[in-house]
A and B are shown apart, each in its own frame.
Chain A
Amino acid sequence: MTTLLYERSIPRFAAARLVSAFGSGRGAGVGPLRLVEQDAPALPGPGWVHVDPVLSGICGSDLATLDGRSSRYFEEIVSFPFVPGHEVVGLVSDPGAAADGTPLAAGARVVLQPVLGCAARGIDPLCPACSFGHVGNCGHLAFGHIRPGLQTGFCADTGGGWSTTGLVAHSSQLFAVPDGLSDADAVTTEPVACAVHAVLGAGIAEDDLVAVVGAGTLGLTVIAALTHLAATGRCRAPAAVLAGAKHPHQQRLARQFGATEALPPGQLSRAVRRHSQSLSFGGAAGQTATLSGGADVVIDCVGSAESIAHSLSMVRPRGTVALVGMPGKVTVDLAPLWHREVRLAGAYAYGTESVPAAEAGAKRGAAKLREMATFNLAFEVVAAQGTGRLVSATYPLTRFEDAVAHAGSAGRRGSVKIAFDMRKGHAR
């Protein structure tokens, strides 16, 4: 049985970092990732089941890890060696239960909610975050009866999605895939859940102007989620959603998912200025011009120094910049953040969301709130928006170098999501 294993190796880490300087994803062959034969991990305890991955996506955070660019912040909440892959649709090997308690028969199709919170770690009582269902904010990621790991795919005890051997998952991590969703749809559920969480946490008000920076998987799923959640009354409906998308296929998808306008990143500020009817100052000598007003909410789905600076330049005073793309160590001039009292908010993972109970058509603002798992909201978005179309190519594990290189240059190659396909003969 085949597994991609990421080991702690300083020389290989350094080599990957060096080679990836020539392009993200190019360092997979020389880095700490190796194709190995090994058995499935043992079940850590009661409530755990084996899951055989069917599809497992390659995420931006995976690429950052493989490129040796991820922040050292994560060192204490990751354990080595680990099997990457946290975007997973798979089949449970044994009977078990899903996160909501419903029974799962052997062979049931599930997606993994990969965060390893208190429940998965056997910690009782739960930390305050987990007790409110905010598992993404769990304070016990380095504790409990499994080794540290913020998610499956970064923990030495659970295995990960990039494996035909299988992984182990706690029932709190399992969500049965609704009938009608394809495997490609299902494997996008995890990034869509991130997008749902980001949108609901961004504080979007009725008729706000929202700008989305970046149109890779995260940017596109944010637009898809925002459109669906607004249409169903789960969040306030913005007046316009402007997307900065570098490549033509990204612009096309952004518009299909509901963006009012999708433009090259260099044109986004002008569109924000026009929609917000702002004045503009600065911009000489290569500096970014600042808008007198700007977008009410900017959702940064890139996480680079440039994208954060860009976001700060076009958010209105007292507006919100939501950081959805995973940033590393960046250097950004925070003077505009301070001066304009901008709220810079992280948006990580998922858990439980408070959303209006009413569906579309209910009076906005009058509906009672209801707690819903982010993943269940994500399933709705996946089904309504057909996010499975984002899966552009799949590879067998044996071609992991090609797969990672493709993921690292997905935009330039007209692709969005690259995934490993563990079904025999299904790679495309």
Chain B
Amino acid sequence: MSRRPGFVLEVDKSTPPTLFWNGEGFTLETLPEGSRVLYAPEPMPALDDPYGAIRHALLHPVGDRDPLPALLSAGMKLTICFDDISLPLPPMVAPDIRQMVIETVLDMAADAGVDDVVLVAALALHRRMTEDELRHALGDRVYDSFAPHGLLTQHDAEDPGNLIHLGQTAQGEDIEINKRAATSDLLVYVNINLVAMDGGHKSVATGLASYRSLRHHHNPQTMVHSRSFMDAPASELHTSNWRMGRCIAEAGVKIFQIETTLNTDTFPSNFAFLQKREWEWTLRDRATYAGTSAALARVPSRLARQIFHSIKSPHAMTSVQAGEVEAVHALTTENVWRQQGIAVEGQTDILTMGLPYICPYNVNSIMNPILVACLGLGYFFNLYRGRPLVREGGVLILRHPTRPEFHPGHHPSYIDFYEQVLTQTVDPVRIHKEFEESFATDPWYIHLYRTGHAYHGVHPFYMWYWCAHALEHLGRVIIVGGDAAAVRRLGFSPASSLNDALEIASDVVGPSPTLTHLHAPPIMMADVH
């Protein structure tokens, strides 16, 4: 049976209750008649022979690039950079795509007699990965071959000895990236494209950059003008990265970009109901939902978190392309849209969404309130091309417990951002102006970023800036089932039930609003006409 495309359901009397994610759990909600529910397209088939497909891509690059073996030679300096723990979501069942690609690249390098090879996790300002996480991403063979010799590194955006300033763009944007990567004879970048925002010039210009460089596009002004940042041509974030990427190329950095796309097979079979349409739930799905919900309601949130973070996704690779960055990324974006695209007619007054337990920045960690805001207003709100799903001045209703809990090791500056910044203002522009510099240069955060597993001190600011477009666009944000004080701290309105939220929303959008529910994950991208 061929896979079914995305689907827009119109709720009527016969429609069963709709699944809403609710952090480390989920719930069923009855939506008003006439509401629309957006379902992601079904998963595209996996590549039959992923290793073969990878090899083929490396031998048949796109754009102005020779096949990889032709770029490899004895005595050269090769750096292989790869996406970090933030991709994919949830982490995928082994073998991870990065492992498959890097093993293939290394085989070719070995065949060419390349000895000087270093692997670099492209962290940008993310936390350093643990050994377990690196082993999962790269496989034991790669890890054991490189890590003991210091040849498996993680980009350190605060290491002045391993950063190089390549100049400025015509707009005055500093380009400062990883020195080892920039001064290699060849930089191979291994990407996993979960959403259209990923990849392209952003891989190197962001993933290997320093704060000095990142601040030019990770700011409220850029984010407000990225509509959306899932749609590169309409994204100022990407425009800036593309400017930088071209300057990096002009500076002589030779990049061989390898990008891969995934299907939407997001959850393992025991959680299959999460990616099904409710009216197609089998008896087993219903029993699993009921049993899982009941069990999760009884366990402490910490245990529920552990259970969910142990989930490995059966994501499968749907495409791999290699070569010159822009040519590669054009193909990648097409493939992402082919898998995730869903056509939607017209905007809605109210957009609802249930937020899951995971976002790019809390893998094996805690989804704190700032990340809740970022996932809802930054990521899910921006899953569109053309126009936002919700009209300007409309209401966004999220469902998430939004507990004021933080991982002190991973998110130390988030705690201070929550306690000392959001208590004073939620305005991204004011936050940027008054607080960013002191957090970004704080030696304690820098120490924890460089030596522990902490996100950089400035990272919560970026999460808040991701929300800037939505904050400007929306008339109100309501969180159902969230900790009321935490929700208010974010500047949003708390509601105890969806009905209460709709009542609150009526103050903004009137008594008979249109409503659309984004049934994600699995991820979809709305083409709003």
Distance of A261 Cα from B417 Cα, bound (Å): 13
Quote the shortest CB–CB distance from B482 to chain A (angstroms).
20
Distance of A278 Cα from B438 Cα, bound (Å): 12
Indicate if A273 sits at the interface (CB-CB under 8 A).
Answer: yes
The contact string, 1 if C-beta is below 8 Å from chain A, for chain B 425-465, is 00000000000001101111001000000000000000000
Distance of A279 Cα from B423 Cα, bound (Å): 23
Indicate if B415 sits at the interface (CB-CB under 8 A).
Answer: yes
Of A263, A271, A279, the residue contacting B444 (CB under 8 A) is A279
Indicate if B345 sits at the interface (CB-CB under 8 A).
Answer: no
Contact across chains for A270 and B419 when beta carbons are under 8 A apart: yes
Contact across chains for B444 and A280 when beta carbons are under 8 A apart: yes
Contact across chains for B420 and A270 when beta carbons are under 8 A apart: yes
Indicate if B140 sits at the interface (CB-CB under 8 A).
Answer: no
Contact across chains for B443 and A263 when beta carbons are under 8 A apart: no
Contact across chains for A277 and B438 when beta carbons are under 8 A apart: yes
The contact string, 1 if C-beta is below 8 Å from chain A, for chain B 408-427, is 00000001100110011000
Knowing A261-B420, A263-B420, A277-B438 are in contact, say whether A270-B443 is a contact too (CB < 8 A). no
Q: Which residues of A contact B424 (CB under 8 A)?
A: 261
Contact across chains for A267 and B443 when beta carbons are under 8 A apart: no
Distance of A280 Cα from B441 Cα, bound (Å): 16
Indicate if A274 sits at the interface (CB-CB under 8 A).
Answer: yes
Distance of A129 Cα from B438 Cα, bound (Å): 45
Q: Which residues of A contact B447 (CB under 8 A)?
A: 279
Contact across chains for B442 and A270 when beta carbons are under 8 A apart: no
Q: Which residues of B contact A279 (CB under 8 A)?
A: 443-444, 447
Distance of A366 Cα from B442 Cα, bound (Å): 34
Q: Which residues of B contact A271 (CB under 8 A)?
A: 416, 419-420
Contact across chains for B444 and A273 when beta carbons are under 8 A apart: yes
Quote the shortest CB–CB distance from B423 to chain A (angstroms).
8
Distance of A270 Cα from B416 Cα, bound (Å): 7
Contact across chains for A277 and B444 when beta carbons are under 8 A apart: yes
Distance of A60 Cα from B441 Cα, bound (Å): 42
The contact string, 1 if C-beta is below 8 Å from chain A, for chain B 15-50, is 000000000000000000000000000000000000
Q: Which residues of A contact B442 (CB under 8 A)?
A: 274, 277
Q: Which residue of A lies closest to B443 (CB)?
A: A277
Distance of A278 Cα from B439 Cα, bound (Å): 12
Distance of A19 Cα from B447 Cα, bound (Å): 50
Q: Which residues of B contact A277 (CB under 8 A)?
A: 438, 441-444
Q: Which residue of B lies closest to A251 (CB)?
A: B423
Q: Which residue of A lies closest to B420 (CB)?
A: A271
Contact across chains for A270 and B438 when beta carbons are under 8 A apart: no
CB within 8 Å of B: which A245-283 residues: 261, 263, 267, 270-271, 273-274, 277-280
Q: Which residues of B contact A270 (CB under 8 A)?
A: 415-416, 419-420
Distance of A263 Cα from B442 Cα, bound (Å): 20
Q: Which residues of B contact A280 (CB under 8 A)?
A: 444
Distance of A58 Cα from B447 Cα, bound (Å): 48
Q: Which residues of B contact A267 (CB under 8 A)?
A: 419-420
Q: Which residue of B lies closest to A261 (CB)?
A: B420
Q: Which residues of B contact A274 (CB under 8 A)?
A: 416, 420, 438-439, 442, 444
Quote the shortest CB–CB distance from A273 to chain B (angstroms).
6
Q: Name the residue among A263, A271, A274 with the largest chain B CB count within 10 angstroms.
A: A274
Contact across chains for B438 and A263 when beta carbons are under 8 A apart: no
The contact string, 1 if C-beta is below 8 Å from chain A, for chain B 153-179, is 000000000000000000000000000
Q: Which residues of B contact A263 (CB under 8 A)?
A: 419-420, 423
Quote the shortest CB–CB distance from A354 to chain B (angstroms).
35
Distance of A215 Cα from B424 Cα, bound (Å): 19
Quote the shortest CB–CB distance from A219 to chain B (angstroms).
18
Q: Name the residue among B420, B438, B441, B443 with the largest chain A CB count within 10 angstroms.
A: B420
Distance of A92 Cα from B447 Cα, bound (Å): 64
Q: Which residues of A contact B439 (CB under 8 A)?
A: 274
Distance of A318 Cα from B363 Cα, bound (Å): 42
The contact string, 1 if C-beta is below 8 Å from chain A, for chain B 340-364, is 0000000000000000000000000
Known: A271-B420, A279-B443. 16 other contacts (CB 8 A): A261-B420, A263-B423, A267-B419, A267-B420, A270-B415, A270-B416, A270-B419, A270-B420, A271-B416, A271-B419, A274-B439, A274-B444, A277-B438, A277-B441, A277-B443, A279-B444
Q: Can you list 28 A-B pairs, Cβ within 8 angstroms, ordered by A?
A: A261-B420, A261-B423, A261-B424, A263-B419, A263-B420, A263-B423, A267-B419, A267-B420, A270-B415, A270-B419, A271-B416, A271-B419, A271-B420, A273-B444, A274-B416, A274-B420, A274-B438, A274-B439, A274-B442, A277-B438, A277-B441, A277-B443, A277-B444, A278-B444, A279-B443, A279-B444, A279-B447, A280-B444
Complex A-B, nearest 6 residue pairs according to Cβ-Cβ distance, in ascending order: A267-B419, A279-B444, A274-B416, A271-B420, A270-B416, A277-B442
Which positions in A face B, CB cutoff 8 Å? 261, 263, 267, 270-271, 273-274, 277-280
